[in-house]
């Protein structure tokens, strides 16, 4: 496909095709928003009154727009992780979840943390091995 050669009437990338067009904020949507903004205190007062009178939709709208959603929070749990290896500790976490001592979410977070710790320990071990090989072969 051949590229077109720009002509005086062809727009360049990033150049407006109508530089003297409508000014920002003068469109229909912008005018509606400006009208709503002018009457916002009145609208909020009416909406609040309806919510207080029992209008569930009005109450929901106010709450959804002003209050952050609540998130479930697991209470902190003290847990003893027996064993010397990460595998044994992971098994202890799974046992605590199955016994109801930990929530599944807490168990998943702990298993994830144990997995991250395993990767860190692996990196430490590899670094120690590389250092030992370098010192053995005279590279420092």
Q: Which two tokens stand for residue 96?
A: 């605590």
Q: Taking the CB of residue 50, how many other CB atoms lie within 10 A of it?
A: 16
Does the pLDDT at position 114 exceed 90? yes
Report the predicted TM-score, pTM, of the whole model to 2 decimal places. Answer: 0.47
Angle separating helix axes 86-98 and 104-136, nearest 10 degrees = 180
* Mean pLDDT computed over 11-39: 82
H runs (alpha helix) in the chain: 28-38, 40-52, 56-66, 86-98, 104-136
Check if the beta carbon of residue 117 is closer than 8 Å to that of residue 87.
no
Query: Which of 53, 31, 49 shows the shortest CA–CA distance to 41?
Result: 49
pLDDT for position 9: 65
Does the pLDDT at position 6 exceed 70? no
pLDDT for position 24: 77
Q: What is the mean pLDDT of the chain?
A: 87
Identify which has the larger pLDDT, 28 or 77.
28
pLDDT for position 79: 82
pLDDT tens digits, 50-77: 999 999 999 999 999 889 888 878 788 8
- Of the listed ranges 33-42, 70-79, 84-93, 96-105, the least confidently predicted one is 70-79
CA distances from 112 to 83, 94, 120, 128 (A): 18, 12, 13, 25
Could you identify the residue written with the tokens 């029992």?
Answer: 54
pLDDT for position 5: 66
Band (pLDDT 50/70/90 cuts) for residue 140 is low
């Amino acid at each position: 496909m051949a590229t077109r050669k720009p002509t005086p009437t062809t727009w360049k990338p990033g150049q407006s095709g109508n530089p003297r067009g409508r000014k920002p904020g003068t469109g229909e949507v912008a005018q509606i928003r400006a009208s709503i903004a002018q009457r916002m205190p009145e609208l909020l007062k009416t909406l609040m009154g309806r919510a207080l009178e029992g209008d569930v939709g009005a109450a929901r709208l106010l709450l959804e727009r002003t209050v952050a959603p609540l998130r479930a929070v697991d209470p902190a749990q003290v847990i003893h992780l027996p064993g010397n290896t990460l595998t044994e500790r992971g098994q202890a976490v799974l046992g605590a979840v199955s016994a109801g001592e930990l929530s599944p979410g807490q168990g998943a977070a702990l298993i994830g943390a144990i997995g991250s710790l395993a990767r860190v320990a692996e990196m430490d071990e590899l670094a120690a091995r590389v250092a030992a090989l370098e010192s053995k072969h005279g590279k420092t």
